[in-house]
Amino acid sequence: MQLSLTSSPHNHSHKSLSTIMLKVCLAASLGIVCQAYFFGFGVLIQLLLAITTAVVAEALVLKLRKRDIKTALSDYSAVLTALLLAISIPPLAPWWVIVIGTAFAIIFVKQLYGGLGFNLFNPAMAGYVLLLISFPVQMTTWSPPMELAFNQHSLLDEISVIFTGITQSGFTTEQLRLGVDGVSMATPLDSLKTGLSKGLTTSESLQNPIFGEFAGIGWQWVNVAYLLGGIYLLKSRIINWHIPVGFLASLAICASIGVVFHPGVSTGPILHLFSGATMLAAFFVSAQVPFCIYLAAQPC
Amino acid sequence: MTEQLRDIINQGLWKNNPALVQLLGLCPLLAVSATITNALGLGLATLFVLLGSNVTVAIVREWVPKEIRIPVFVMIIAAFVTMIELLMNAFSHELYLSLGIFIPLIVTNCAIIGRAEAFASKNSVPLAAFDGLMMGLGFLIVLVMLGAMRELLGQGTLFDGAHLLLGDWAKVLRIEVMKTDTQFLLAILSPGAFLGMGLLIALKNTIDAKQQAKQLEPIVEKAPRARVTSLD
């Protein structure tokens, strides 16, 4: 990245890097709590694994590059990368998935390009891409919300399934995915897609128990939580509104066009806005927090 | 004479390595290095073509007019590649199938026409043969190293399917380093090839830099003191 040279007077932004990073982590925390409440504690275990890996990997590379480890680690950028990656992968994915992804994100995508501010890509998302093309099965094994799951699982079960592949009572990840009717549950958007391929209309697919008040059960509140976190980021002027609003508006407009012209095979904008990782992507990923800091630090 | 030979060895295997320094022939290098067997097969084929074309170009160098040398070189190389293709089809058919289009594509490997133009067309037959051998070996070694890295990371084995190239006895060569239920697809797909190649080049550059630093290490002599103050 090339930074422009500007003449004086230099306005100093009073936000320090570590405060910004911590505020972003704070903004995401509500969504993480929501995820843990609806989908089990898996996400917290992944978070722990990811942060540990990120800090170790960062310290290792900094030592090799003969840089000051303490300063670089205390800006919390590695922690933020780990956090973003941990919340975007399935909560019950095996432990080595998150370890490989985070290590790649920190070592290859961030540090090999020169560290914070020099990385071409968002490290967390490059790590996500690596995982998605390397382990497509593990990366799409999403478990249903707890209230719909046939096999309930506790914290110990989740730890055991992440590290050994089976729970304490001997269930596999695949068995944990079974819904109350004994059929493997898909994510809301997945079940819409399979419904369409079976020839069902959208309104028929929406009868599926996985859908709640306005989007998928669990998923809708996770998205609301990330939306709130995003509004907090906007309020505290850490990100600019342009990217998230543009992202969400184009999604809503495209979905509306679909509903107007093909109501039978498409769903309204509300479902799209509150499904999957829409809000996470809009406020925490596409707004590229570590990159936008430079923009935010300069008076617009 | 021996000095010249040593220089050719050094150029081919290290200083001017076709894969690591000249970065020629990257297309087959990146596409075929998913396993050691494939890498070895393509490396040997390239080595043979390079040797044959270098020798032939050196033999005919006096009779080829300068203006049409490139088409002549290309025809010589194409003839050797066709031979290799037919031979592989006959003797290691399965490997021939798995290497696919990359065997005929050896023709377009710039390392080969590069050596014909830069070395063989200006040197005697034995020297050209030796140069072809060394350049081919340099390419082969990098190809096999990349193949080993990718195979180990991707599926946890080494020499998987070696019998396709070397005959049935080679089944004993297969080593299962680690047992994995899931392949690490990235290493097998092309991004893994680019990453692995980058790491190998970085490794070579590091070694070069270390050696240079060692050579340049200044000989510190005890500097004589310019001014000596003593009580006497």
ipTM: 0.73
Give residue A295's pLDDT.
46
How close is the nearest chain B Cα to the Cα of A113, in Å? 13
Lookup: tokens for B62: 């006096």
Q: Cα–Cα distance between B136 and B17 in angstroms, integer?
A: 9
Question: Do the Cβ atoms of A73 and A55 come closer than 8 Å?
Answer: yes
How close is the nearest chain B Cα to the Cα of A143, in Å? 20
How close is the nearest chain A Cα to the Cα of B209, in Å? 15
Give residue B230's pLDDT.
59
Give residue B77's pLDDT.
93
User: Tell me: the pLDDT tens digits for A190-244?
Assistant: 888 888 888 888 888 888 878 877 888 888 899 999 999 999 988 888 888 888 9
Q: Give strand pairing partners of A149.
A: A179
Closest CA to A35 of A209, A225, A187: A225
> Is A268's pLDDT higher than 90?
no
Q: Cα–Cα distance between A271 and A298 in angstroms, integer?
A: 36
Burial of A165 per CB tally in 10 Å (0-12, 13-18, 19+): middle
Give residue B74's pLDDT.
92
Q: Cα–Cα distance between A233 and A284 in angstroms, integer?
A: 9
Q: Which pTM value belongs to this model?
A: 0.80
Question: Do the Cβ atoms of B149 and B196 come closer than 8 Å?
Answer: yes
Give residue B224's pLDDT.
62
Give residue A300's pLDDT.
35
A-chain CB neighbours of B182 within 8 Å are 135, 137-138
Lookup: tokens for A159: 């730890």
Q: Is B186 within 8 Å of A108 when comparing Cβ atoms?
A: no
B-chain CB neighbours of A130 within 8 Å are 186, 191
User: Tell me: the pLDDT tens digits for A100-123?
Assistant: 999 999 999 888 888 877 778 888
Instruction: Split chain B (232 residues) into runs of 10 and give each run's mean pLDDT.
Output: 82 84 82 87 91 93 89 93 92 85 86 87 90 91 91 84 75 77 81 89 90 78 62 56
**CA contacts within 13 A on the Cβ side of A78:** 29
Nearest CA in chain B to A138: B182
> Residues A31-51: what's their mean pLDDT?
91
- Taking the mean position of all CA atoms in its chain, how far away is CA B224? 52
Map residue A86 onto helix, strand or coil. Answer: helix
Q: Does A164 touch chain B (CB under 8 A)?
A: no
Give residue B219's pLDDT.
63
Option in B182, B189, B191 nearest A135 (CB): B182
Q: Cα–Cα distance between A265 and A255 in angstroms, integer?
A: 11
Give residue B168's pLDDT.
74
Phi, psi (5° rounding) for residue B80? -65, -40
Lookup: tokens for B130: 């030796």
Closest CA to B138 of B16, B2, B4: B16
Give residue B170's pLDDT.
73
Helix axes B125-155, B36-60, angle to 10 degrees: 170
Q: Does B191 touch chain A (CB under 8 A)?
A: yes
Closest CA to A265 of A208, A185, A195: A195
Q: Does A130 touch chain B (CB under 8 A)?
A: yes
Average confidence score pLDDT of chain A: 83
Question: Do the Cβ atoms of A61 and A104 come closer than 8 Å?
Answer: no
Q: Does A135 touch chain B (CB under 8 A)?
A: yes
Mean pLDDT is highest, among A45-54, A211-220, A262-271, B20-29, for A45-54
Q: Does A128 touch chain B (CB under 8 A)?
A: no
> Is A6's pLDDT higher than 60?
no
> Is A46's pLDDT higher than 60?
yes
Between the CA of residue B123 and those of B4, B107, B148, what are the distances in Å? Answer: 12, 22, 35
> Is A71's pLDDT higher than 60?
yes
Map residue A172 onto helix, strand or coil. Answer: strand
User: Tell me: the pLDDT tens digits for A117-164?
Assistant: 777 888 899 999 999 998 888 888 888 887 777 777 788 888 888 888
Give the count of Cβ contacts less than 8 A between chain A and B. 18
Q: Cα–Cα distance between A288 and A222 in angstroms, integer?
A: 20
Q: Is A137 within 8 Å of B185 when comparing Cβ atoms?
A: no
Give residue B228's pLDDT.
59
Beta strand B175-176 with B157-158 is: antiparallel
**Alpha helices of chain B — where are they, by DSSP H?**
2-10, 26-32, 36-60, 69-91, 93-99, 110-118, 125-155, 163-166, 185-188, 190-216
Q: Cα–Cα distance between B10 and B134 in angstroms, integer?
A: 9
Vertex A56 angle, CA A53 and A62, to 5°? 135
Q: Is B189 within 8 Å of A133 when comparing Cβ atoms?
A: yes
Question: Do the Cβ atoms of A128 and A98 come closer than 8 Å?
Answer: no
B-chain CB neighbours of A100 within 8 Å are 184
Task: Please give the DSSP secondary-structure letter assigned to residue A238.
Answer: S
How close is the nearest chain B Cα to the Cα of A135, in Å? 7
B-chain CB neighbours of A137 within 8 Å are 182
Give residue A12's pLDDT.
52
| DSSP H or E stretch at residue A26 | helix A17-39
Map residue B159 onto helix, strand or coil. Answer: coil
Give residue A49's pLDDT.
94
The length of chain B is: 232
Q: Is B184 within 8 Å of A133 when comparing Cβ atoms?
A: no
Q: Cα–Cα distance between B52 and B54 in angstroms, integer?
A: 6
Q: Is B195 within 8 Å of A133 when comparing Cβ atoms?
A: no
